[in-house]
Structure 1
Amino acid sequence: MTQNDTFPRQYARTQRLSLGEPRSFTLSPCSQRLVFARAASGSDSVNMLWVLNTQTGEEKVVFNPQAVLDNTGDITAEELRRRERARESASGVVSYSCDAAVEHAVTIINGQLFLVDLLNGQSTALNIEPGVFDARLNAPGTHVAYIRNGALCVADISQGTDNTHEKVLASDPAPHISWGMADFIAAEEMDRQRGYWWSPHGEHLAVCRVDESPIDTWFIADPAHPEKPATEHRYPAAGTANAKVTLHIVQRESAASIAVSLPSDDEYLNSVAWSAAGLIVQLQSRDQKSVAVFSVDATTGNAEEIFADADDAWVELVSGVPALSTTGKLVTTVDREGARRLQVDGVLVTPAHLQVRAVLHVGDTIVFQANHIDSPWTIDVWRCDIATLSLTCFSSEFPTPHSVSGIATDNAFLLRVSHMTAPRAEFSISTGHSVHSHAEEMLVAPNVAFHTVGNSNIPVAIVTPRDNGTHKLPVLFDPYGGPHAQRVVGSLLAYATSQWFADQGFVVVIADGRGTPGKGSAYERSVLHDLAEPVLVDQVEVAQALAQLEPRADTSRVAIRGWSFGGYLAALAVLRRPDIFHCAVAGAPVTDWRLYDTHYTERYLGNPAVDAHPYESTSLINDAHLLERPLLLIHGLADDNVVAAHTLQLSSALLAAGKDHEVLPLSGVTHMTPQEVVAENLLLHQLSFIQRSLPTAP
């Protein structure tokens, strides 16, 4: 922390207060070692690899990338794309892979592959050419697989790192075909960041072959550097073709390959899980109303359906499932009786008042994340004993509300705990020790009150200055407001930016309206066929209830800001309800859902080639003529997720309609804004725009 720090500067410098926080945890099967990545300080972006003795609490660095950075090459283009999909802005050890015993790990620094001995802390650069990414050790630790130029390769390290020899296991000379990589939709929308999986014994691999040739090519240019060619980007926009993804079993030694005989009428390969209990694969239909799980014979490639689920709206994908228990029981989640519930071999395990959010471990036990539907801001970690199907909450001892996640084995766990009395996350190990965070403490002190509003009990957090004043203040709505993102949570850190705005003289309001997660199936599915009206109606309902919730709120001066879906909501608010919202900052907004990707958009709005009405009724471009209030549009010109065409096309429509507005283009910036100078000044620019755009106080 520097002497002249302000919160915007600190927030930018620390990459949203994330630097120095331990992450990417792995517990050894013996539960005596915890491996993790962490930077040396809260302003250092270079993660080192650490090992903690869970019995003593002693931590030690086993790999410091700073010592080898000068001897490595450049980060590969594939790795840069993976980091963008994962919203990864740190450096150094951003990912690693361990053997089954968690005695060795591999990691990649700027394309160079390193082997780390987790017991003695020695590391060695493998004797292969740089330019690889996504390296993974097999279970015995004898071989490492990785991707080079779209090909899956393997190196034998059993005889030492000096004698490694690279073998290409799967490749294709045809353009736009890759092996072992996750396609754009899998990585961006399905939480599948990988495209290959080792067998439990390390002799075979299940490998995705991805053919992107059916996908339309878009071009992402950098107008600030006209001397640079535009980047080709295969983008599957709603209603257009997806990549063709097939699964193959590849033999490590011979490179012999057999195709897995999966049905061709299911569009999406959601997940693959290969454990000692077997190999299973989940597929999903193009309309996302059905999924099927298949058991695969790795010797023949034959696949047998062992589970299917369907829903009139869509089947939600949940991280960590499907999976097989140690004894081969199938663990899944299903939406039943209004909640997302855990299921073991067809038997419902969790009650209808719990909403399962993610599955963290499946073995002899199941460890999962869930919240009570009537209090979605408190998220707990639970364990299910598969033998008895009994449930135990790991995190009930922490102050409520709280947000808890973590990792686990059958006999140990680590919890990441955030709550409303701690300025940063805490990390608790089941042995009684903790992992230290080097993250900086925020230069604001959030002052948050929780409420529910209306018949649907919309979760609301109201953030106010700590001055104990009684005079009226303008209001700033600060939502995301859409699917898969919850803003009203039991974590003090989640309100850091909102508190900074409050300290500038605002009542800040965050509302998780219909479509956001945590409040059950019907609440999430309220946005089916309409991502605009239900979402906006709930924000309006909260605005109209503010007088009873916070007496300082001056509802004659209401601004709204947001990014991504929140940017869409902010622009939608001033276009359709200028009587409620008096100015808006819309960052990276979707303005025409036809320009967004297949899997996300078609889940809610359907296929525009079949029915275009949901797309017409939710388009901001069609509403451009309605603008009456100040609107600031912000967009990264290098964004390959919500491309800059969204903002540019809306701006063109506003100009054609004679509507004044402002556009802030961000050269070289993607969908995330990790650049320090950009992140700091974006906050300041938004504040300035809102202050000069709101009506004068009466």
Structure 2
Amino acid sequence: MWKRSEQMKIQSGKCNMAAAMETEQLGVEIFETAECEENIESQDRPKLEPFYVERYSWSQLKKLLADTRKYHGYMMAKAPHDFMFVKRNDPDGPHSDRIYYLAMSGENRENTLFYSEIPKTINRAAVLMLSWKPLLDLFQATLDYGMYSREEELLRERKRIGTVGIASYDYHQGSGTFLFQAGSGIYHVKDGGPQGFTQQPLRPNLVETSCPNIRMDPKLCPADPDWIAFIHSNDIWISNIVTREERRLTYVHNELANMEEDPRSAGVATFVLQEEFDRYSGYWWCPEAETTPNGSKILRILYEENDESEVEIIHVTSPMLETRRADSFRYPKTGTANPKVTFKMSEIMIDAEGRIIDVIDKELIQPFEILFEGVEYIARAGWTPEGKYAWSILLDRSQTRLQIVLISPELFIPVEDDAMERQRLIESVPDSVTPLIIYEETTDIWINIHDIFHVFPQSHEDEIEFIFASECKTGFRHLYKITSILKESKYKRSSGGLPAPSDFKCPVKEEIAITSGEWEVLGRHGSNIQVDEVRKLVYFEGTKDSPLEHHLYVVSYVNPGEVTRLTDRGYSHSCCISQHCDFFISKYSNQKNPHCVSLYKLSSPEDDPTCKTKEFWATILDSAGPLPDYTPPEIFSFESTTGFTLYGMLYKPHDLQPGKKYPTVLFIYGGPQVQLVNNRFKGVKYFRLNTLASLGYVVVVIDNRGSCHRGLKFEGAFKYKMGQIEIDDQVEGLQYLASQYDFIDLDRVGIHGWSYGGYLSLMALMQRSDIFRVAIAGAPVTLWIFYDTGYTERYMGHPDQNEQGYYLGSVAMQAEKYYEHFSSHTLLSLLHSFFIVNKHPLRCFLCFVTCRLRRYFQHDYICIHMPSSSTVCLSGFCAHSYHSSQAHLTSKLMTMSPFLSPPYMLDTFQYNSFDKI
């Protein structure tokens, strides 16, 4: 609106001309930095009066929030995802490809499979809108469709799935087989294979079973799509969808009522791997079958077996008064034991008619901890294209050393209880058969696991080529093409003794940097590379043009040169490339425009196939257009005293009145692996921030050091000291904005966030109570020694080696500091869920924390314990309790009654809590 002076505006603009030019190209409006901040005498400015936000009634806020949630649900429902391209191979037909995807049906609001046809030619004078056609006929999956078992609820929580219906699907290109889970059933259907392409919705076929409990993680066998595998009660099963033959492969779990006596699982990723490494499966089909002389074939499954006998069991009591059910979970607290893990392999021999002849369970020839010394986590696993080797990406416990290993099926022997027979099997394996460490890297900060690993088909028996992404070399994640020599190990197993860590390490013959610079290649949360092995190109998403925008790029991996951007600037994109690299789909948006999904055709000159250009082909989802009553935030940046450029977003009050100073709400996350400030549309997920602005608050969002997409040095700034630097960056950002805008009232600032943002909200009151008057902390971590191993030790190290860091980063250990800095004008609201598993150990400690905090917040502390029946929304609370609490926030501690009510009540409480400022 208006700044302190035009003079300041002009001078600041001169100081940052380069940044302004870059910003103009990006199409993102960013305020100038504070490098040339002017000192303006207070007597030159008129005295401003504070603006007081109107106190809204319960019914008013209820209606406001209900309206915003309706739009939120509509916008979320319309985004297609999980695209699959299939060639039509019809020379005379009008369509070149069919694309399949998941989206929400308009009729029943459930996620299901759709398809669209891609025309061979388009009318360039008009915009083509592809029609969505349902692949599946309406069917009743099961009687409990939309109801989830505890296993499914936990998995949906960790995957952050908030919709009902089909969450994912598997597809086999050769046969056109789809496989998916719906309700408690597993279904298959065929389209796009030898049987052709349907024009009518298909009725899925249920994979029948004798299993009494829920079946999870179904996968098609890539070597024979008649066979599928799935997990039932922590063991691996297979089933033939044609003959209906079913077989249990592993027998490690006994389904005992006492969890302590039943600690093992097969093919299942344990809690920490799912929650902190984004790996949700624990078994991998071999892509090729081995043919035997008698005409039968061998199918293989590599899987992990876990033994959690040393992992602590926690008990979670349901908050629902009518059930009071207690659930038990294995939870490895930082500094305690992780599950013991090993690789195993199942070999299934199939006859010519597709019947099972034999199943052999195999184990490693030597214990996992001997073959892979120092390895704590199996971060990723899979198979090379020919199925000659299994591969795995392994991490040590500190997550500062990464190894990529190849494992031959010959390294496994049949499980044998007889010692003499087992020794005979061991001796039958040649000494030359060992694991092969084809790549290793280390860092002093930590290694961020990603999904980028592409193995090329082997052209030489003694070499392996692959593309991998690394941050360890330059501090920014970049692509490298690596050739390793598969040399025979010096270690001779038959001679006895144990192998040295270097015995299995293969020399790197060649390492080519495909990309470089102070920007990063994206490799998580759906971003991955697509390799065109015919044209020697690699497609990837990255931040080359701006840390605030994601774009699709292409570059040669044989002769790396200039990287070519394929998507339009001024937007942030999430892309999917076709298998033949001739089309790509982009879902894109910016601060002003909601997401849109478009299809583009890729082409190149005949004389230069590496020079790729795009052509708009069709729209899959058009933008919803401007939102009513929505004002997008403005992006700003400033140079912090640490030398980094920090970015933020500013939501101005909608009815900004000259001469008024407005209360400010700082919305915060501040933790690793998250970036809040970027050029994406914020009107869906963060619509509540717009609502606060419409009520008369200034809302500020800042990405401090530790957030992602800025390089490992920026992210690693809080190594060993979480909670100690983030608030400094946030306060510096607030002070910068206040120096630029008169309407920001730094005497009335509140802070709010969830998870790590809730934790920092607590830290803000403790560290800077001179700035913050209100804190609403949602599901905060209050004691890091009660958090899980994978997350906490990555950033803080082992607690025995960083006692000071754990103390200074823990709210509960420093509760007395609230008393030291406490003001009679300060309000703390603590919101906590009963069903966030990785926060639950803290809830056990929450009673202690509550007692200590209550001592220091005698009058201005409210603690709300929130039941949660699913991850879709947080269950609300009694409306009367909310409304009453507003009148008593400064009089006593209140615990809200956990009665069921609409989910928007929680938001209503948050809005009214800011009345304090």
TM over 0.5: yes
Q: Match for 1:422: what amino acid?
A: N
1:186 is matched with which residue: 265, 273, 277?
273
Note the C-alpha offset of 1:501: 1.3
Residues 208-607 of structure 1 aligned to structure 2 (within 5 Å): 208-225=304-321, 227-253=323-349, 254-260=358-364, 262-277=371-386, 278-301=389-412, 302-318=434-450, 320-326=451-457, 329-335=465-471, 336-345=473-482, 346-358=511-523, 359-363=527-531, 364=533, 365-372=537-544, 375-390=546-561, 392-398=563-569, 400-411=570-581, 412-430=583-601, 432-436=617-621, 444-453=629-638, 454=640, 455-470=643-658, 471-493=660-682, 495-607=686-798
Hey, what's the Cα distance between the residues in 1 that align with 2:246 and 2:808?
54
Hey, what's the Cα distance between the residues in 1 that align with 2:82 and 2:618?
18
Task: Report if aligned partners of 2:530, 2:577 keep a CA contact under 8 Å in 1.
Answer: no
Q: Please say which of residues 620-629 and 569-578 is displaced more in the overlay.
A: 620-629
Q: Please say which of residues 519-528 and 134-143 is displaced more in the overlay.
A: 134-143
Q: Please say which of residues 536-545 and 122-131 is displaced more in the overlay.
A: 122-131
CA offset digits 1:497-542 (Å, max 9, x no partner): 2211111111111100000001112100101011112111101111
**70 and 224 in structure 1: CA distance in 2 versus 1, 3 angstrom threshold:** closer
Note the C-alpha offset of 1:288: 0.7
**223 and 420 in structure 1: CA distance in 2 versus 1, 3 angstrom threshold:** closer
Q: Match for 1:464: what amino acid?
A: K
Hey, what's the Cα distance between the residues in 2 that align with 1:647 and 1:395?
50
Matched, 1:666 2:866: yes
Note the C-alpha offset of 1:70: 3.6
Q: Match for 2:475: what amino acid?
A: G
CA offset digits 1:354-407 (Å, max 9, x no partner): 21221513432433221138x311111223333333564454324x15243445
Hey, what's the Cα distance between the residues in 2 that align with 1:602 and 1:570?
22
Matched, 1:133 2:216: yes
Note the C-alpha offset of 1:10: 3.6
Task: Report if aligned partners of 1:293, 1:307 keep a CA contact under 8 Å in 2.
Answer: yes
Note the C-alpha offset of 1:32: 2.0
Partner of 1:50: 114
**14 and 211 in structure 1: CA distance in 2 versus 1, 3 angstrom threshold:** farther
Task: Report if aligned partners of 1:280, 1:323 keep a CA contact under 8 Å in 2.
Answer: no
CA offset digits 1:477-497 (Å, max 9, x no partner): 012111001000111235422
Note the C-alpha offset of 1:438: 9.9
**For the aligned residues, what is the CA RMSD?**
2.7
Q: Match for 1:586: what amino acid?
A: A
Task: Report if aligned partners of 2:514, 2:557 keep a CA contact under 8 Å in 1.
Answer: no
Note the C-alpha offset of 1:352: 1.7
Task: Report if aligned partners of 1:382, 1:391 keep a CA contact under 8 Å in 2.
Answer: no
Task: Report if aligned partners of 1:546, 1:553 keep a CA contact under 8 Å in 2.
Answer: yes
Aligned residue pair count: 682
Matched, 1:37 2:102: yes
Note the C-alpha offset of 1:204: 1.2
Note the C-alpha offset of 1:58: 4.3
CA offset digits 1:432-455 (Å, max 9, x no partner): 223237989855423221111223
Partner of 1:149: 233
Q: Please say which of residues 283-292 and 387-396 is displaced more in the overlay.
A: 387-396
SS in 2 for 1:92: coil
Task: Report if aligned partners of 1:636, 1:671 keep a CA contact under 8 Å in 2.
Answer: no
Hey, what's the Cα distance between the residues in 2 that align with 1:497 and 1:408?
36
Task: Report if aligned partners of 1:446, 1:495 keep a CA contact under 8 Å in 2.
Answer: no
Hey, what's the Cα distance between the residues in 2 that align with 1:466 and 1:655?
37
**152 and 386 in structure 1: CA distance in 2 versus 1, 3 angstrom threshold:** same
Hey, what's the Cα distance between the residues in 1 that align with 2:75 and 2:906?
16
Task: Report if aligned partners of 2:867, 2:875 keep a CA contact under 8 Å in 1.
Answer: no
**599 and 623 in structure 1: CA distance in 2 versus 1, 3 angstrom threshold:** same
Hey, what's the Cα distance between the residues in 2 that align with 1:617 and 1:223?
32
Q: Match for 1:579: what amino acid?
A: D
**13 and 190 in structure 1: CA distance in 2 versus 1, 3 angstrom threshold:** same
Partner of 2:815: 624
The two structures have a TM-score, normalised by structure 1, of 0.91
Task: Report if aligned partners of 2:595, 2:623 keep a CA contact under 8 Å in 1.
Answer: no
Q: Match for 2:849: what amino acid?
A: L
**173 and 396 in structure 1: CA distance in 2 versus 1, 3 angstrom threshold:** closer
More strand by share: 1
Task: Report if aligned partners of 1:21, 1:437 keep a CA contact under 8 Å in 2.
Answer: no
Note the C-alpha offset of 1:93: 0.5
**129 and 484 in structure 1: CA distance in 2 versus 1, 3 angstrom threshold:** same
Structure 2 segments unaligned to the other structure (5+ residues): 1-61, 89-95, 121-129, 192-196, 255-261, 290-298, 350-357, 413-433, 459-463, 483-510, 603-616, 877-900
Hey, what's the Cα distance between the residues in 1 that align with 2:400 and 2:845?
28
Hey, what's the Cα distance between the residues in 2 that align with 1:110 and 1:176?
27
Give the fraction of aligned pairs with identical amino acids, expressed as a percent: 22
Q: Match for 1:19: what amino acid?
A: A
Q: Match for 1:347: what amino acid?
A: I
**563 and 70 in structure 1: CA distance in 2 versus 1, 3 angstrom threshold:** same
Task: Report if aligned partners of 1:360, 1:408 keep a CA contact under 8 Å in 2.
Answer: no
Task: Report if aligned partners of 1:136, 1:146 keep a CA contact under 8 Å in 2.
Answer: yes
Task: Report if aligned partners of 1:62, 1:116 keep a CA contact under 8 Å in 2.
Answer: no
Hey, what's the Cα distance between the residues in 2 that align with 1:434 and 1:181?
39
SS in 1 for 2:520: strand
SS in 2 for 1:633: strand
Q: Match for 1:39: what amino acid?
A: M
SS in 1 for 2:249: strand
**239 and 79 in structure 1: CA distance in 2 versus 1, 3 angstrom threshold:** same
Hey, what's the Cα distance between the residues in 2 that align with 1:662 and 1:269?
42
Task: Report if aligned partners of 1:12, 1:679 keep a CA contact under 8 Å in 2.
Answer: no
Q: Please say which of residues 253-262 and 346-355 is displaced more in the overlay.
A: 253-262
Hey, what's the Cα distance between the residues in 1 that align with 2:165 and 2:751?
37
CA offset digits 1:189-236 (Å, max 9, x no partner): 101111111111262111111222221001111233364331001111
Task: Report if aligned partners of 1:28, 1:101 keep a CA contact under 8 Å in 2.
Answer: no
The two structures have a TM-score, normalised by structure 2, of 0.70
Hey, what's the Cα distance between the residues in 2 that align with 1:417 and 1:407?
15
Task: Report if aligned partners of 1:640, 1:671 keep a CA contact under 8 Å in 2.
Answer: no
Hey, what's the Cα distance between the residues in 1 that align with 2:323 and 2:104?
36
Hey, what's the Cα distance between the residues in 2 that align with 1:588 and 1:71?
30
Q: Match for 1:666: what amino acid?
A: M
CA offset digits 1:141-186 (Å, max 9, x no partner): 22111111111011112xx3xx312111122145121111111111
**305 and 123 in structure 1: CA distance in 2 versus 1, 3 angstrom threshold:** same
Hey, what's the Cα distance between the residues in 2 that align with 1:662 and 1:578?
17
Partner of 1:689: 913
SS in 1 for 2:555: strand
Hey, what's the Cα distance between the residues in 2 that align with 1:145 and 1:10?
42
CA offset digits 1:304-343 (Å, max 9, x no partner): 100000001112212x223313565222222233322111
Larger radius of gyration between Structure 1 and Structure 2: 2
Task: Report if aligned partners of 2:866, 2:874 keep a CA contact under 8 Å in 1.
Answer: no
